Structure 1
Amino acid sequence: MNAKTLENLDIYDPDNYVDAVPLADFKTLRDEAPVYWHSHPDGGGYWVISRHQDVMKVSRDNKTFSAERGFVLVDDLPPEILEQVKGQLLGMDPPNHGPLRRSVITRFTSKMLAELEPKVRDITRTILLAALEKPECNFVYDVAGELPTSVIGSMMGVPQDMWHQLREWSDMQTSASDPDIGGTPEEVQAASIEMGTYGYMLAAERKDKGGDDLISLLVNVEVDGHQVSEMEFASLFVQITVAGNETTRALISGGMYELIQRPELYRELEAKHLENPELMKSAIEEMLRWTCPLHYFRRTATCDTEIGGQQIKENDKVVMLYSSANFDDTVFENPEVFDIHRSHNPHMAFGHGIHLCLGANLARMETRIFFEEFFKLFSGIELSGKAVRIRSNMANGFKEMPVKLYPR
């Protein structure tokens, strides 16, 4: 996509994300207007923050830039929906945020992940063995998407016959603007309510019953004097499930897509990842920088302030454009090059600060295991048709990626 001038640049329109991420437009913003007032089709507008250092500044300053005041989407939510999402961690400010986050983060420790690894490997192998029977498929949903849904469903002890429903609810909310995935505002609202209600039901069933699944551990254990209530868990359930699905699916499918475009890198990673585990680690970080599952999150100014010399008024919307920050050439050397050897890679694919993605290391582990097991079972992969991106200014990923898989 060719860069536009500031006068006709539009990074809100979801149609502008269908062919490719508008990286040239993001560069225009960073170079010419790093704190840019962008109009909104419903009236008014918002500030787009496109440079890495400014996105980090906003991410760190939760006192001045609130997630709670208006939530994290650039579109204003109806009052009844805004009330529902207040229980989600990603839309909380301190002091509400801290105790609840610590309750969750204690379940995502490195020790827990190490204990979980054999199970994730078994799940991955089962999915890939099924893919052997279907060598021509949509890689996004038939292969990559199966892993995070299965892992998060298994961790929470959700009945397996509900896993597909979890993914449908999740997709409806993150890709509402895509005609093949989303729906009307009423349908999206209904999906959110149904999902939260299901989470509440699961929490109520497992309260004071013991159990070692993630839901039981969250609702039955007190951390720092705080015990997660059924209502709090209903919102947590939506956030954990949506994030668990979207992030890893986009990472695996987007990462594989970039490797397919560069066969020499695919073969290098395939050949050397076992003898050089650091190569797999740096490759995954580069996949994250490049694919960045969410383009942005919004904050709202709690007082008059300034960013990069630009005056910001109280209640102004401020959008942190992660996809732009990840290609800032003042931070990343040759950012337009997909480099699996990149050593300095402070990307913001998982956000930053107190809202850093809870499942970041789980997503990394799932992706590492996926590629390790994929290389064992398959000798190659190639596109068998056009990969189609999600029509969204928020969710960054593919919805169709027809491939042919070559078993070993």
Structure 2
Amino acid sequence: MQIDVYSPDSYSDGIPHDQFAWLREHAPVFWHAHPDGGGYWVLSRHADVLRVSRDFKTFSAQRGFVMVDDLPEDILGMVQGQLLGMDPPNHGPIRRAVISRFTTRRLALLEPQIRNIARQIMAGAKAGEEINFVDDLAGDLPTAVICSLLDIPEAMWPQIRQWSDLQTSGSDPDLGGSPEAVTQASIDMGSYGYSLASERLDGDGDDLVSLLINQEMDGHRVSEMEFASLFVQLAVAGNETTRGLISSGMDQLLRQPEAYRALEQNPQDLPLAIEEMLRWTCPLHYFRRTATTDTVIGEQAIREGDRVVMLYSSANFDETVFAEPMRFDIGRDPNPHMAFGHGIHLCLGANLARLEARIFFEEFFRAFAGIERTGEPVYIRSNSIHGFKQMPVRLRPR
């Protein structure tokens, strides 16, 4: 089989399941050529992805960052300030500072606010005419929630979303993507984050910005520059992954009307269903690590400095872990998917995303009598982001 899991065009119809299945069976540690020369190792099995995710000493996120393409030194230095691109000891204090603001208790306190936002979104949705579910509905909640948590003026919300979209669409010209646009959006967004931190330093606000920069964790206080990088990660992740989860999850329910009706009638079953949506949709195809020493994965020798790519969207369909992996099962349990990664770099907002998705579907079922697909969804042209850019639907009001 011809294997090319680098080209964004390989993802034009979603996850390239045929290639991933071949890799899992025949070459679970696969040397893949890179168009700029050299290559990288592709890990397709759940066990190997899990092992590398856990071993941050041997497989570094900071050395080379988390994208498969090597970055220019000036850009590399900038993105290494993001938590997802940090190794211990730098990683720990900043992560714990953020995690302390996303506890179960704090999220429970946020639920009424998130539900109110969701109800406003449903009330403003245009029923009876064709809409793009991605932009007109699914994307509104995560943008509003993350911006509200950061106390960003509502007039800036469209700009935050545009910066976020540009940074995840570098390979999709339909979305204005280009390497230059990605870099500029990251710089502009980081600069805005820096200004927020500077304004709220030593203040008494209770927004997420103020809470993060005005606390000390393990003897460390988050600086304005550290927050600027953290802000980019929080805002982009808070927008893209949850939007992908909601829109792709809804699309799958529409392909299985019995599952849609079951959740509409029994919304208490949503938490388990959302885990299956996460496994199935997997908002990120991969992250990269770089070997810090000579090592072995499976029976394959890996040399220091080699790039190692963890294919989450292959691991989530590993036949040795998931029974009938190509069946979308809203009652699947257990469901050890890795849609949020694993280990010290497990997604910071994983539980916030779960909460947002649950509330979205609860309020959607209350607000609308139904939803119908009016065309096939169109995927973002990306080997990194798994999500739709178009999902035409029509809503039926109650």
1:132 touches 1:407 (CA, 8 Å); kept in 2? no
Which residue pairs with 1:98 in the alignment?
A: 92
1:30 touches 1:50 (CA, 8 Å); kept in 2? yes
Which residue pairs with 1:75 in the alignment?
A: 69
Note the C-alpha offset of 1:397: 0.4
Give me the whole-angstrom Cα distance separating, in 1, the residues matched to 2:380 and 2:180.
20
Matched, 1:230 2:224: yes
**Cα displacement string for residues 288-321 of structure 1 (whole angstroms, at most 9, x for unaligned residues):** 0000000000000001001011000000000000
Distance 1:268 1:387, change over 3 A: same
Which residue pairs with 2:14 in the alignment?
A: 20
Which residue pairs with 2:387 in the alignment?
A: 397
Note the C-alpha offset of 1:188: 1.4
Question: Which range is displaced more, 86-95 or 171-180?
Answer: 171-180
TM-score of the two chains, using structure 2 as the length reference:
0.99
Note the C-alpha offset of 1:184: 2.6
Note the C-alpha offset of 1:234: 0.1
Note the C-alpha offset of 1:20: 2.4
Matched, 1:145 2:139: yes
Which residue pairs with 1:312 in the alignment?
A: 302
2:172 touches 2:178 (CA, 8 Å); kept in 1? no
1:173 touches 1:182 (CA, 8 Å); kept in 2? no
**Cα displacement string for residues 234-273 of structure 1 (whole angstroms, at most 9, x for unaligned residues):** 0000000000001100000000000001111101111122
1:350 touches 1:360 (CA, 8 Å); kept in 2? yes
Matched, 1:61 2:55: yes
Which residue pairs with 2:291 in the alignment?
A: 301
Matched, 1:284 2:278: no
Structure 2, gaps ≥5 residues long: none
Aligned-pair identity in percent equals: 67
Matched, 1:165 2:159: yes
Q: Which secondary structure state, in structure 2, belongs to the residue aligned with residue 180 of structure 1?
A: helix
Given the alignment, which residue of 318, 332, 356 partners 1:342?
332
1:103 touches 1:226 (CA, 8 Å); kept in 2? no
Give me the whole-angstrom Cα distance separating, in 1, the residues matched to 2:128 and 2:69.
40
User: What amino acid maps onto 1:333 in structure 2?
Assistant: A
Which residue pairs with 1:330 in the alignment?
A: 320
Note the C-alpha offset of 1:379: 1.0
Which residue pairs with 1:220 in the alignment?
A: 214
1:300 touches 1:316 (CA, 8 Å); kept in 2? yes
Which residue pairs with 1:197 in the alignment?
A: 191
Which residue pairs with 1:245 in the alignment?
A: 239
Note the C-alpha offset of 1:182: 3.9
After the TM superposition, which parts of structure 1 deviate over 2 Å for at least 4 consecutive aligned residues? 132-136
Note the C-alpha offset of 1:339: 0.1
Give me the whole-angstrom Cα distance separating, in 1, the residues matched to 2:373 and 2:261.
16
User: What amino acid maps onto 1:210 in structure 2?
Assistant: D
Structure 1, gaps ≥5 residues long: none
Which residue pairs with 2:26 in the alignment?
A: 32
How many residue pairs were aligned? Answer: 398
Note the C-alpha offset of 1:187: 1.9
Q: Which secondary structure state, in structure 2, belongs to the residue aligned with residue 406 of structure 1?
A: strand
User: What amino acid maps onto 2:166 in structure 1?
Assistant: M
Give me the whole-angstrom Cα distance separating, in 2, the residues matched to 1:265 and 1:216.
42
Give me the whole-angstrom Cα distance separating, in 2, the residues matched to 1:184 and 1:403.
29
Question: Which range is displaced more, 130-139 or 381-390?
Answer: 130-139
User: What amino acid maps onto 1:44 in structure 2?
Assistant: G
**Cα displacement string for residues 179-232 of structure 1 (whole angstroms, at most 9, x for unaligned residues):** 112433222111110000000000000001110100000011112211110000
Q: Which secondary structure state, in structure 2, belongs to the residue aligned with residue 211 of structure 1?
A: coil
**Cα displacement string for residues 69-123 of structure 1 (whole angstroms, at most 9, x for unaligned residues):** 0000001111111010111000000011001100111000001100000000000
2:59 touches 2:289 (CA, 8 Å); kept in 1? yes
